[in-house]
Structure formats: C-alpha cells, structure tokens
Amino acid sequence: MRATEFISKSIDITQHVTGHHHGQTDVRLEARTDRGLSGYLDYSVLHGQPQITMIHVAHRREGVGSALVKHLQSLYPTTEIDWGSLTPKGSQLYKSIEFEEIPNPRVIRDMRKLEQLKQKEAGYRALADEWERSSKSEEDRRRFLDDTSDWNDLHSEIMDLEQELHDQKPYRRLVKI
C-alpha cells in the first residue's frame, strides 16, 4: 500500500508474517519513507481479532504511526482493533487518531431485552415482598405462584444474556481511513 500523508511524504507499507502458534498469527507492518525504514507496527490476530502489540516510529509527528494504524484497519475494515496496553506515546497516538463509531444492532437489541427482563424480575420481587407482608392465604399463595411461574426461567435468561453481553459494546470503534 502506498499512503500519502499531509506532510507530502510517501509512505510504503509492507506486511510480513513473523510467526504462527496456537491459532494466533503474528504480523509486522513496516513503513518506509525516503529516509528508509521509518517505523513498524507489530500485531497479532486470534479468532479474526487484530491486537496491536508494539508500534515504533523513528520520527514522531510525521504521520507514520497514523499510516500504520490506518493500514491495519484497512486489512480488517469491519473489526475493531484491540490497542492492548498503551504507553504514554501510544496514548498520544491513540488520541490523535480519528474514529467512527458503528452501532452494533445485535448488542443494542440484547441490551434492551436484558433491561426489560430485569424490570420484569424486579416486578416479581415486588410481588414477593407484597406477598410476604400479606395475609398469606392459600388463594394468595396460588395467585403469587401463578403470576411468577416463569421466574426461574426468567432468571436463567437474564444470566445467559449477561454472560453473552459480557465484554460486548453497543458500538464498534473503527479507525477512520
């Protein structure tokens, strides 16, 4: 890929696989300018998810780091890049990158459903509290059990959805290319 940055420097980016183990592929993107090797970005891919492990640029503020990150995003256009742990310089690069947030309709739908289920469960708890304070006749007991007959299933569904949504976000944050 040939990228041209605002400073009118031509940046050539090449890709090299550096290793493959346990289903993970390790890759290096190298950026070359008229000065030679101007930087590199190491990343790994596991289950289709790219994760940056190292970014090094020879001269900051020349667009090399941004070009490397944009190139990586172009390789995975619909997948959010995991930036891993950021150093202070990495944080500066991250803050300088322009992102676009793409809604994740499935996660948004499931989050709404989870909220509705939790509200229903809260209603069951209120019924249980009311039943505890009431006269506790056999008729009240039967009505309470009928009204909350799906409570166990409801609780299981809530737990399943919470587990599914763990680490899920209602949007994907993609590097604007």
CATH for 63: 3.40.630.30
Q: Is residue 12 part of a domain?
A: yes
What is the residue range of 115's domain? 105-172
Task: State pLDDT tens for residues 1-52.
Answer: 444 434 446 999 999 999 999 999 999 999 999 889 999 999 999 999 999 9
The residue among 12, 5, 98, 3 whose CA lies nearest residue 60 is 5
Structure tokens at 86: 């950021």
Work out the number of other CB atoms within 10 angstroms of the CB of residue 28.
16
167: left (phi over 0), alpha (psi -120 to 50) or beta: left
Rg (CA), the chain: 26
Q: What's the CA dihedral at 118, 122, 124, 127 to 10 degrees?
A: -170
pTM, 2 dp: 0.70
CA 127 to chain centre: 38
Task: State pLDDT tens for residues 49-99.
Answer: 999 999 999 988 889 999 999 999 999 999 999 999 999 999 999 999 999
What is the number of domains present in the chain?
A: 2
Last residue of a domain, one of 81, 97, 113: 97
Residue at 47: amino acid letter: H
Sheet holding 2-4, edge to edge: 2-4, 10-21, 24-33, 36-46, 49-57
- Does 75 lie in the same domain as 11? yes
pLDDT value of residue 9: 64
- Does 90 lie in the same domain as 110? no
Last residue of a domain, one of 74, 97, 120: 97
- Does 79 lie in the same domain as 16? yes
Last residue of a domain, one of 77, 97, 117: 97
- Does 90 lie in the same domain as 6? yes
pLDDT at residue 153 tops 80: yes
Q: Is 54 helix (H, G, I), strand (E, B) or coil?
A: strand
- Does 87 lie in the same domain as 36? yes
